[in-house]
Amino acid sequence: MGHHRHHQHAPAGHQHVHTDIDWAEMAAHLEAEAELFTPLYAQAAAWLAARRPEPGLIVDAGSGPGVVTGVLADAFPAARVVAVDGSGPLLERARERAGRQGFADRFGTLEADLPEGLDGLTYPADLLWASRSLHHIGDQRAGLAAFAARLAPGGTLAILEGGLPTRYLPRDIGFGRPGLQERLDAAQAEWFGAMRASLPGAVEEAEDWPGLLTAVGLRGATSRTFLLDVPAPLSEEARAFAVTVFGRLREKAAELLDASDLSTLDRLLDPDDKASLYHRSDLFVLTAHTLHVAQAQP
């Protein structure tokens, strides 16, 4: 799960949102996104390292295939790192990655659903990182409280939630009605709200993350936003990622967009159309993710 996620959910219709997301099936897309977004995660990890130089144990809660886990292992070369995720196949990918990147000797996994699965940790965490995994928990405040309860004295909780929607295209792409991305954002927001509402034990909560971190007993809550700027022209890997994102949006938003926007999306997704995402020279990736941090009592 760790890596997104507003545009990473399984395709779902407006009225029949599926929350049983097959994360293993999405593994390649999750890896591609996290690898593309690695500069953003590396900035966030470096900022954390300056605040909390030498944690003994780092827990990546909702690690997915372990790309960000690797970034954390790189930023904290003396730390032991544990990836926690509900998907065994994703954790298998995380183990393979740890082996390739040379930190397998200080890496462990825990296959467990969040947040209750964190009870399976043997030791409290000096740094608990949760990248876009909290919003898959119905009661986000209870999830934060469970995360906070797993911290060592003085430990840090770092939650990556919110930021800005990702931009891929200019306002006017030369066909269709200008402003497609804003309308996709609105459809995405509606879809995301339906996804949240259908989660087990869903609780509506104002997403005041510093306020919630304070409410669950942590102190010194603060936020910092990190930019990802991948300008045009894109690499083939980044282009393929963008195509996948728009394909998933086309499935998710089918009932939320008008016919003209759907036909615009179909053109963008047609490999034979010279104006499609496969051929455009103006395709880019620009986004910002916000990290919210707070500390346990010493």
What's the rounded mean pLDDT across residues 242-246? 96
**Measuring CA to CA, which residue among 119, 127, 65 is closest to residue 96?**
65
Closest among 135, 113, 179, 114 to 7, alpha carbons compared: 135
As given in the structure block, the two tokens for residue 92 are: 């298998």
Check residue 253 and give its pLDDT: 84
The mean of the pLDDT values for the chain is 91
pLDDT at 28: 87
Neighbouring C-alpha atoms within 13 Å toward the C-beta of 187: 25
Query: Of the CATH numbers 3.40.50.150, 3.30.930.10, 3.20.20.140, 3.40.50.300, which one belongs to the domain with range 27-295?
Result: 3.40.50.150
Do residues 296 and 151 lie in contact, with contact meaning Cβ atoms separated by under 8 Å?
yes
The 10s digit of each residue's pLDDT in 18-77 is 345 676 668 888 899 999 999 999 999 999 999 988 999 999 999 999 999 999 999 999
Tokens of 102: 């040379």
Q: How far apart are CA 285 and CA 94, in angstroms?
A: 25
Predicted local confidence at residue 272, as pLDDT: 98
In this structure, of 5-9, 175-179, 235-239, the range with the lowest mean pLDDT score is: 5-9
What band does 241 get if pLDDT is binned at 50, 70 and 90?
A: very high
pLDDT the model gives residue 24:
62
User: Domain coordinates of the chain in residue numbers?
Assistant: 27-295
pLDDT-derived band of residue 186, with 50, 70 and 90 as boundaries? very high
Global pTM reads: 0.89
Confidence of residue 209 (pLDDT cuts 50, 70, 90): very high
Which ranges in the chain belong to alpha helices (H)? Answer: 27-36, 38-51, 67-75, 88-101, 140-149, 180-197, 209-215, 236-252, 259-268
pLDDT value at residue 26: 80
pLDDT, one tens digit per residue, over 139-155 is 999 999 999 999 999 99
Centroid of chain to Cα 101: 21
Question: How many CB atoms are located within 10 Å of the residue 186 CB?
Answer: 14
Q: Do 12 and 22 form a contact (C-beta atoms < 8 A)?
A: no
Could you write out the DSSP letters of every residue in 128-187?
EEEES-GGGSSSHHHHHHHHHHTEEEEEEEEEEEEEEEEE-S-S--SSS-S-HHHHHHHH
- If pLDDT is split at 50, 70 and 90, which confidence band does 284 have? very high
If you average pLDDT over residues 246-256, what whole number do you get?
A: 91
Do 250 and 128 contact (CB within 8 A), yes or no?
no
Share of the chain above pLDDT 90, in %: 88
**pLDDT at residue number 17:** 35
Round to whole Å and give the CA distance between 154 and 53: 13
pLDDT at 7 over 70: no
Please report the pLDDT score of residue 204 as a whole number.
94
Q: What token pair was written down for 203?
A: 């609780």
